Amino acid sequence: MVEPARISLITAPTPLHRLPRVSEDLGIDLWIKRDDLTGFALGGNKGRKLEFLLADAQQKGAEVVVTCGSAQSNFIRQLAVGCAMLGIKCAVVAMQLPYEGEPPTPEIMAKALKSKGGNLTIDRIVGAEIEVVPNGTWDELFERQQELVQRYKDDGFNVYSIPVGGSTTLGAYAFYRASLELWRQAEPFDFVVSASSSGSTQTGLQYGYHKTPTRYIGVACDPEPELIHEFVTLAGSLDELLEEQKGLTAKDFRFDLRFVGDGYGIPSEQGNRAIEYLARREGIFLDPIYSGKAFAGLLQMAKNGEIDGRVCFWHTGGTPTLFV
């Protein structure tokens, strides 16, 4: 295969170390992969994807990069910083709380992250154009993104459009490479656990660990079981890119929906307790939308005996949302 173009954004390999106190508490050998320490734009796993996505945008002569997501999106924050570094305009359509199906109740909305502070502060410091629109469904948000793309095209700009969360073949490829990074750092783990949302993180890691001794579990942060079909599509595109024939199916993905709570973008009680627990036991901070829920899932799975032996928790970052 021809290696996709890449620019250097993150510091890699990211640290991997043991969590001695939590290991003792749970009776497992627990380690943590610190993608909260990627060293780019306040850290987080999205920098891995952007090394390839922004290189592709540059190669294609992009003048404007357009994407969409929640107002407190970690991907948008890192994309906005990367675009600023490369002199490319970043234009975004954002909602406080995109949702699937019925609108959330006022009680649920009161728990959701707000459309101010946190990641939005960083977006604006680096000059991203953020259009915050009324809350609505994911489909409505995607339609708004396409409208924004068309506006810039009509004005004569060369536009590079990125789907929510950077979940593309290149995004999944970045995490396939990340799985190899972990292989080089340590003996194989029995389990790797991380947060999972739009799909490229879980797809890339699952692709890397397919038919190996390591079992990968994605803890869902979106209450949408049908997302797994998008993972399969992404895995198929990785087969093409890597000239492989793994042929992953829905049965190859463990997408655990038990720890979502009230929905996407809404902190959960379990997740918040997990944040406090890890901070007090190991001095490491998680975020309330992704890694907090994922770590809550890991804690419960360990207590239930669903995971054991050597376990790696993949910390995907998200620190700015602690301050919303």
Q: What is the structure's pLDDT at 205?
A: 98
Rounded Cα distance between 48 and 173, Å, is 9
In whole angstroms, what is the distance from residue 230 CA to residue 32 CA? Answer: 27
Rounded distance, CA 246 to CA 252, Å?
11
Whose CA is closest to 191, among 204, 205, 178, 177? 205
Q: Report yes or no: 275 and 286 within 8 Å, Cβ to Cβ.
A: yes
Beta sheet of 159-161, edge-to-edge order? 129-133, 89-95, 64-70, 159-161
Q: What is the pLDDT of residue 102?
A: 86
Q: Is the pLDDT of residue 1 over 90?
A: no
Taken in order of first residue, the domains within the chain and their CATH numbers are 16-44+167-323 (3.40.50.1100), 46-166 (3.40.50.1100)
The CA distance from 215 to 47, in Å, is: 24
Task: List C-alpha distances in Å: 227 to 51, 53, 130, 149, 291.
Answer: 24, 22, 26, 24, 18
Reported as a single tens digit per residue, the pLDDT across 189-212 is 999 999 999 899 999 999 999 999
96-125 residue pLDDT tens: 999 988 899 999 999 999 999 999 999 999
Q: Which one is catalytic: 8, 23, 70, 73?
A: 73
Q: Is this prediction's pTM over 0.85?
A: yes
Altogether, the residues listed in the chain come to a count of: 324
With contact defined as beta carbons under 8 Å apart, do 72 and 265 qualify? Answer: yes
The Cα–Cα gap between 168 and 228 comes to 14
10-59 pLDDT, tens digit per residue, is: 999 999 999 999 999 999 999 999 999 999 999 999 999 999 999 999 99
Which of 225, 228, 223 shows the shortest CA–CA distance to 253?
Answer: 228
CB of 318 closer than 8 Å to CB of 291: yes
CB 114 within 8 A of CB 319: no
Separation between Cα atoms, residue 125 and residue 90, nearest integer Å: 12
Strand residue runs (E) in the chain: 16-18, 29-34, 64-70, 89-95, 129-133, 159-161, 191-196, 215-220, 255-256, 310-315
The C-alpha R_g of the chain, in whole angstroms, comes to 19
* pLDDT band at residue 153 under the 50/70/90 scheme: very high
Pairing of strands 64-70, 159-161: parallel
User: Does the active-site annotation cover 197?
Assistant: no
